[in-house]
Amino acid sequence: MWRSFFCALIAGIVLRFVNPFGSDQTSLFHVDYSMKWTFMELIPFALLGVFGGVLGSLFIWSNISWCKL
C-alpha cells in the first residue's frame, strides 16, 4: 500500500512539473460542484455499503467453514 501511495505521489509531482496540458490543471476534465446534494441521495450508498458488508461477512464465514472441513 505504501508503494502505491508513493508512486501516486511521485506521479502527481512529475505531472505538476511537466505540465503536459499547458495549463495549471492536472486533469483532462473539470468538475463543477455547483449542484447541491440532498439527504435522499445517501440512502442508496448506505444500502450498498450494508449489502457489501453482509456479502463480505458471508464470504468470510463460508471461507472459515470451508477451511475447517
* Grid cell for residue 30: 473539470
Identify the pLDDT of residue 20. 67
pLDDT at 56 over 70: yes
Domain boundaries, the chain: 42-69
Identify the pLDDT of residue 51. 98
CA-nearest of 2, 3, 26, 23 to 14 is 26
Rounded Cα gap, residues 3 and 11, in angstroms:
12
What's the distance, Cα to Cα, between the start and end of the chain in Å?
Answer: 33
pLDDT-based confidence at 21, cuts 50/70/90?
low
pTM summary value = 0.51
